[in-house]
Amino acid sequence: MSFVLNGTTLPDPQSFEENFEVIGDISRTMLGSARRAVRARKRVWTMNWEILTQAQFQTIKTIYELNTAVTLVNSDLQDSINTTVLTDIPSHVYIAGTGQNYISGLELVLTEV
């Protein structure tokens, strides 16, 4: 599964999840029925890596630190992706005492703009 983020090919994630964020509101009428006003449906992708080298982590972190929308491309999936996303790294953990600097448990969240 080849993901290209901002022109950089990412290492294959151990897990990849796609969810949808509905932008809108649900309201109740005076008679009690529900109405839903959907303005947009945005896709949210979550990628997880169990182990990355320091260089791989630094590459992803550099894109994250741009603090701007970047491109995400993947044509390997059944529904290909070619869109603009915002990046977030909610968590990552360092592995201590391995002799090399590895990152464990990196989570990258990409939200469609």
E strands, 1-113, in order: 4-5, 8-9, 15-28, 34-53, 70-74, 81-95, 102-112
Contact (CB, 8 A) for 111 and 41: no
Q: Any bridge partners for residue 110, and if so which?
A: 45, 87
pLDDT of residue 99: 61
pTM of the model: 0.85
pLDDT at 113 over 90: yes
pLDDT of residue 26: 86
Contact (CB, 8 A) for 44 and 112: yes
Give the Cα separation of 105 and 88 in Å (integer).
Answer: 14
CA atoms within 13 A on the CB side of 95: 15
Give the Cα separation of 78 and 82 in Å (integer).
Answer: 13
pLDDT of residue 36: 87
Q: Predicted confidence band at 79 (pLDDT cuts at 50, 70, 90)? A: confident
> Which whole-number Å values give the CA distances from 105 to 24, 25, 27, 58, 73, in the listed order?
33, 34, 39, 14, 23
Residue range 46-56: average pLDDT?
91
- Work out the mean pLDDT of the chain and round it to a whole number: 90
